[in-house]
Structure 1
Amino acid sequence: MKALRQALPRAAALIVLAAALTACGFQLRGTGGQFNMPFQSIYLAFPETSPLGTELKRNLRGGDTEVVAQPEKAQARFDVLSESRGKSILSLNSQGRVREYLLTYTLVFRVRDASGAELLGPTEINLKRPITFNETQVLAKESEEALLYRDMQTDLVQQILRRLAAIKPAKTA
């Protein structure tokens, strides 16, 4: 009986906390943030092994847009014009050794409708992240670099989804 009296206030506090979080509009990132696309099907012109293409497909399939394998069956075609990752020196220390790098991830794409008309002209998204470097921690810094590229990829997918959702399809007369 005593254990029940101790557990009851905790359960009540959890219920109040959960109610307060849902009442304020709190949502975890990526949940419930579905985008309403102006088309029901899309063809993504990414290579099969592209991690960016895979993540974009996964996010599109989470909504009500169908990702098709043949461009002829799609209402919209996502064409990748270029995709590149880069790493350049950002700063040096007093001995002339690298202290910081700048990681870049650039994607240029366009979106066309089934007839080939451009819905979204060539668009470039360029992401940059600085990373400090320490030659005594090379393996840790390589892991951090890979993590930053994955973070940029996730950010890139979210930006692509927002731009796709903002497309206004041409009205047919």
Structure 2
Amino acid sequence: MRLMNLPIMLALAVLLAACGFHLRGEATMPFASLYIEAANPASPLIEELRQNLLANHIELTKSAGKADVVLNITSDIPEKQILTMGSNGRVSEFQLRYRVSIRAYDQEQREWLPTDELMLSRDYKYDDAQILAKEAEETLLYQSMRSDMVQQIVRRLSHAKPRALPEK
């Protein structure tokens, strides 16, 4: 039986290699240490970001003065908005949004990432008859958006460069 699966597995491996698929791997950062300055340092986004940066071998410092770069996360806002309503006046669809404002700079106040707002959104259908299931779905969607947001921040940091200070 295993011998019969070998050609199929080999064919799948060749197809994956031919399409250019490869694992994402670690992000290489243009700095060695980072301080995360956040309005809410205990938020799940900050914790997930810390774990991701540590996995990428970035030293997280306890003070801004010891870091090569300071990442300032000024806001981390999940939002929920009614998208559509049925003819009976009940909500039939919601849109979840996740907004994060970031900025990165170094000790000389050179910007590495200018102030920017990142936003993700997901739509989902709502049903009053399945309240618990829909609450669980909403939680999973927020977790997914948070993970996507962390990946976006890490990608932006990996491509960040110091910008020259304006001349006086």
TM-score, normalised relative to structure 2: 0.85
Structure 2 residue 28 is the aligned partner of structure 1 residue 36: yes
Q: Percent identity?
A: 38
Q: Quick check: 2:110–2:162 contact (8 Å CA) kept in 1?
A: no
Shift of 1:23: 3.3
Shift of 1:76: 0.3
Change (3 A) 1:101 1:20: same
Q: Quick check: 1:43–1:69 contact (8 Å CA) kept in 2?
A: yes
2:151 to 158, 162, 169: 158
Structure 2 Cα separation of the partners of residues 17 and 69 of structure 1:
50
Q: Which residue of 1 aligns with 2:113?
A: 120
2:87 to 83, 94, 97: 94
Q: Secondary structure at the match of 1:94?
A: coil
Structure 1 Cα separation of the partners of residues 59 and 16 of structure 2:
30
The alignment yields a C-alpha RMSD, in angstroms, of 2.2
Q: Quick check: 2:33–2:69 contact (8 Å CA) kept in 1?
A: yes
Structure 2 residue 104 is the aligned partner of structure 1 residue 76: no
Structure 2 Cα separation of the partners of residues 61 and 17 of structure 1:
37
1:45 to 37, 43, 47: 37
Structure 1 residues without counterparts, runs of 5 or longer: 1-5
Structure 2 Cα separation of the partners of residues 170 and 7 of structure 1:
57
Q: Quick check: 2:70–2:104 contact (8 Å CA) kept in 1?
A: yes
Moved >4 Å (runs of 4+): none
